[in-house]
Amino acid sequence: MNVVKTTALLTLMTLVLLFTAQALGMDLISSLFFAFIFNFIMYFFSGKLALASTRAKPIEEGQYQDVVGIITFLTQKEKMPMPGLYIIESDQPNAFATGRNPKNAAVAVTTGILKVLNREELEGVLAHELSHIKNRDILVSSIAAMLAAALSFMTRIALWGGGNRSRGTHPLVSIIAFIAAPIASIIIRMAISRTREFGADKTGAEISGNPLALASALEKIEQYSKLPMPVNPAVSQLFISDPMKAFSRAGVGKLFSTHPPTKERVRRLRQEASGIRYR
């Protein structure tokens, strides 16, 4: 279901891009080309940038044996390559995964998450992060980012007088495209991010075999995340829980949230628990 929803959202985003190109009289091929080049570079270097922006440090041999042991067990179980493991000095309990594919992946955890979670809960969180790698969510995010970058490129060019205005497009349509399209693009990207989080919860629960442990971990993360983590907003969607805590979970704020409400994630995991046998 999450795959279908993600595909539908990407299709909708593509339609928004096509509408904007037509309404603003822009060259769609050129916009997509420049967006592709930009995101091609980001696709290969986003992992390193994400780790650098969070000041994550590699876990050295002999350190954080619980993390190393759990990841080793889960990757062997799923027949996945061993990702790079990193630690972030932060009291906020959180974790994220990055990398363009399973062979070039990394998982980072904060020191805070190691203090508040027990081993089963930590295993649930790490299984969630491995599921992002397994499901190639970074690729999905890159496609969405490319479409958004192309749309942003077109509206910026139009702002400076570019585009072919002789196509007979009604001025009102151009105004709608100029103002509403970028907003719609952001909302769709955030919806894709939330959908991928639900998908990672489900796959992570299947990997660990214990959805209730992940549900408990999410509740603890929410409980102990009182202050925002000082990270670049561009990487906030990578974390298992929004490190910025920038938007309210109610009303319009939900549309611009990178993560679904914790209560809904916990509800789904508890529902999932009835159909999974523990190992």
Q: Answer whether residue 167 is part of any domain.
A: yes
What percent of the chain clears pLDDT 90, i.e. is strictly above it? Answer: 41
What is the pLDDT, as a whole number, of residue 248? 44
pLDDT band for 101, please (50, 70, 90 cuts). confident
Q: Does any domain span residue 165?
A: yes
Is 200 inside any structural domain?
yes
Residue in 121, 129, 197, 222 annotated catalytic: 129
Q: CA triplet 189, 228, 123: central angle to 5 degrees?
A: 75
The answer to whether residue 163 sits within a structural domain is: yes
Q: Per the structure, how many domains does the chain have?
A: 1
| Range with the largest mean pLDDT of 11-25, 48-62, 241-255 | 48-62
Q: Is residue 20 part of a domain?
A: yes
Instruction: Let me know if residue 279 belongs to a domain.
Output: no
Active site includes 197? no
What is the per-residue pLDDT across 85-96, written as a single tens digit (0 to 9) for each? Answer: 999 999 999 999
Domain boundaries, position 159: 2-273
Instruction: Tell me what percent of the residues of the chain surpass a pLDDT of 70.
Output: 62
Burial of residue 187 (number of CB atoms within 10 Å: 0-12, 13-18, 19+): middle
Query: Which of 22-36, 67-81, 83-97, 153-167 comes out lowest in average pLDDT?
Result: 153-167
Question: Which has the higher per-residue pLDDT, 70 or 23?
Answer: 70
| Tens digit of each residue's pLDDT (9 = 90 or more) over 31-70 | 667 666 766 766 677 678 788 888 999 999 999 999 999 9
Per-residue pLDDT for 166 more than 50?
A: no
Q: What is the dihedral of CA 44, 46, 49, 50, to 10 degrees?
A: -140
- Asked if residue 278 is part of any domain, the answer here is no
User: Which of residues 173 and 175 earns the better pLDDT score?
Assistant: 175
Element (H, E) at 229: none
pLDDT at 16 over 60: yes
Where does the pLDDT of residue 230 fall: very low under 50, low under 70, confident under 90, or very high at 90 and above? confident
Cα gap 165→162, rounded to integer Å: 8
